Amino acid sequence: MQQVNLGMIGGGTVGSGVFHALQLNGGLMASRIGVKVNVRKVAVKAFNEPRPYPISRSLMTTDWQSVVNDPQVDIVTELVGGTGIARTMVLTALKLGKPVVTANKALLSAHGEELFAAAKKYGTNLYYEASVCGGIPIIKSLREGFVGNRINALYGIVNGTCNYILTRMKLEGADFAAVLADAQKHGYAETPPDLDIDGHDAAHKIGILASLAHGFWVNPKKIHVEGIRQISALDIKFAGELGYTIKLLGIIKRIGGGCQVQVSVYPTLVPNAHVLASVNHVFNAVFVRGDIVGDTLFYGRGAGKDATASAVLSDLADAALDLKSGSKQRVPPFVPHECAGAVVPIENVVSQYFLRLNVVDRPGTLAKIAAIFGAAKIGISSVIQPEGHEGKSVPLIFMLHYATNGAVNGALKKIGRLPVVKGKPVMLRVENFE
């Protein structure tokens, strides 16, 4: 049986997970593809660093360059993370003509165009299934499975930490801060948690998916990003009364029939009847709407050593098969095919809205707020106002009809200046998947 030698950079949680998975199922994979993947070297930060699975000491080195430059290493995996030294590692391997498998979403988001260009220039390939949604094969599906479809919409729950927090807030009626602290205690959230709860991790993934779906590389700075810090138990409660569940959604949506695309990450009210509303705890899901295939759903674990290792093994199999056939770029990492594509500014995106205000309950309050919405030509579909609190500060909930984000934000600035409105208004968008 033909054999290819693997050089691994990174032997921590993900790296040792990949090593363990190869030990466990490497023979199975070889029997299926006709090529054995043999681990030749593993570059680590330190020989004694904590790792969930052991790696043979004889395979380890602290010199990553010795792994990449080894003439007997055929494929390189980059599993160290970050956008600094990882970029150098990947570029070094690509310049040597060696295919690279990476799980590094932040690196691809920041430097994807450069890395794909390097792969093309040096006649090799870059595989990155593990960079988005762990074990869910969404990259391969967009590049290959849906190659004959225009992707009209994609909605993703792609950050397990946020989904875990929002799920517990809904099930327990708990506040954000308490659930976050507990999530950190149990290892579901990092310390500090900013990358996850402020939406940036989700934005890295959604940017990659948007680029693949629409054929132009999405600049991360063009993605509108909001996190979940402002979500309260009250928002969860009132959304539930209205028939919705709040999820942090990555949204990629074709606007009109052209090449204009919405690419956003923000907390969204999802109808309880929709399948995404029932995706709970640390699980991820990606809902894809193609013009030919219709609606499809991908569901599974989006992170963790084993789910990520599964995706890395899938890429290793592809890389080994490409080497076996002598065609390193059978499926290029990214093919730009929509030069006129552009991301629509969030101000121009049309949505429905959930709005929570904290107001002084006195006669005329609702009329003043409604007048501002009316002047902005924003329709109100429903209002929830608790009774029996006259003269006190109470929540006032609005559901608004379709309007642009710019119009709604302009109205909210005026509403926020009313003396009867206390604190900053909370505005969440509503997605009905129409």
Q: Is the pTM of this model over 0.75?
A: yes
Mean pLDDT of 131-159: 96
Q: 306-342 pLDDT, tens per residue? A: 999 999 999 999 999 999 999 887 888 998 888 789 9
Token pair 């005329």 is found at 364
pLDDT (tens digit per residue) in 228-246: 999 999 999 999 999 999 9
Rounded Cα–Cα distance for residues 348 and 406 (Å): 6
- The confidence score (pLDDT) of residue 166 equals 97
pLDDT tens column, 360-385: 888 899 999 999 999 999 999 999 98
Cite the DSSP H helix spans in 122-199.
138-140, 160-172, 176-185, 194-197
Cβ neighbours, 10 Å, residue 359: 22
User: What distances in angstroms separate CA 278 from CA 121, 273, 285, 357, one per listed residue?
Assistant: 45, 9, 10, 27
Q: Which of 205, 247, 253, 305 is catalytic?
A: 205
Q: Is 45 a catalytic residue?
A: no
Burial of 148 (0-12, 13-18, 19+ CB in 10 A): exposed
* Residue 266 backbone phi and psi in degrees, to 5: -165, 160
Which residues neighbour 162 within 8 Å (Cβ) at sequence distance 6 or greater? 196, 197, 199, 202, 227, 228, 248
Structural domains of the chain in order of their starting residue, each with its CATH number: 2-135+305-325 (3.40.50.720), 140-301 (3.30.360.10), 347-430 (3.30.70.260)
What are the tens digits of pLDDT across the range 26-52? 999 999 999 999 999 999 999 999 999
